[in-house]
């Protein structure tokens, strides 16, 4: 474990850069499903004890019948509208930038950003993401929710690793160079 907890974005996108199509049906992710292949997800999540998720992503996953998407980990759902916390799930209405700075000062392992795009935008705007794991799904969605919005300063990244898989997913790990 490094001294400072890193914030890591682990996310899947289409080749044309969308994390969800216009109707937000995540069926495109199923095109790369393969028995016995989790694209490093379990190994990655074993390195994190805390997860950040935008409220829209949380509601989407909950509507898919998964009310606790990260059991055993502390989940902060970022929102402007409070809801009662339950178990490991906290609805955070404060400043997410302050939350990340506070989390980094606490003991623990790395922190996982599970999307969506609006949350990612704020985190990048404040240069808070240390590593990116981007899994590119071999599809063009043609529209929807862009992983990376416009209107931010550029940032240098270093490629740590890139791998392709039989179903056509290409996964790249990048590190922020500061």
Q: Which residues bind ligand NAP (CB under 6 A)?
A: 11-12, 19-20, 24, 26, 54-57, 60, 78-81, 96, 114-119, 122, 145
Position with the least CB separation from ligand NAP: 116
Beta carbon nearer to ligand NAP, 1 or 95: 95
Cα-based distances in Å from 170 to 31, 134, 139 = 13, 8, 12
Nearest to 6 by CA among 132, 93, 120: 132
Shortest spacing between CB 1 and ligand NAP, in angstroms: 26
Please list, in sequence order, all residues whose beta carbon lies within 8 angstroms of the beta carbon of residue 172, skipping any fewer than 6 positions away. 132, 133, 134, 136, 159, 161, 162, 163
Minimum CB distance to ligand NAP smaller for 12 or for 49? 12
Strands (E), 16-67: 18-20, 48-54
To ligand NAP, the closest distance from the beta carbon of 80 in angstroms equals 3
> CB 34 → ligand NAP: shortest distance, Å?
17
Q: Which is nearer to ligand NAP, 98 or 161 (CB)?
A: 98
Cα–Cα distance list, 53 to 36, 58, 64, 153, 165 (Å): 26, 6, 15, 23, 27
* Beta carbon of residue 20, minimum distance to ligand NAP (angstroms, whole number): 4
Whichever of 5 and 56 has its CB closer to ligand NAP, that residue is 56
- The residue among 19 and 75 lying less far from ligand NAP, judged by its C-beta, is 19
Q: Return the SS3 of 153.
A: coil
Q: How far is the CB of 72 from ligand NAP (least distance, A)?
A: 20
Of 164, 152, 100, residue with least CA distance to 130 = 100
């Amino acid at each position: 474990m490094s001294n400072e907890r890193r914030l890591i974005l682990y996310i899947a996108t289409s080749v044309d850069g969308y994390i969800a199509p216009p109707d937000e049906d995540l069926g495109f992710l199923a095109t790369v499903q393969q028995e016995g292949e989790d694209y490093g997800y379990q190994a990655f999540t074993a390195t994190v004890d805390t997860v950040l998720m935008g409220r829209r992503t949380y509601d989407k996953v909950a509507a898919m019948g998964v009310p606790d998407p990260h059991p055993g980990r502390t989940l902060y759902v970022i929102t402007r509208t409070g809801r009662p916390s339950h178990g490991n799930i906290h609805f955070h209405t404060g400043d997410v930038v302050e939350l990340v700075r506070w989390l980094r000062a606490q003991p623990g392992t790395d922190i996982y950003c599970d999307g969506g795009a609006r949350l990612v935008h704020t985190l990048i705007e404040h240069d808070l993401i240390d590593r990116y794991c981007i899994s590119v799904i071999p599809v063009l969605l043609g529209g929807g929710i862009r992983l990376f919005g416009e209107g931010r300063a550029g940032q240098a990244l270093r490629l740590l690793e890139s791998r392709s898989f039989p179903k056509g997913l290409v996964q790249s790990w990048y590190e922020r160079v500061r």
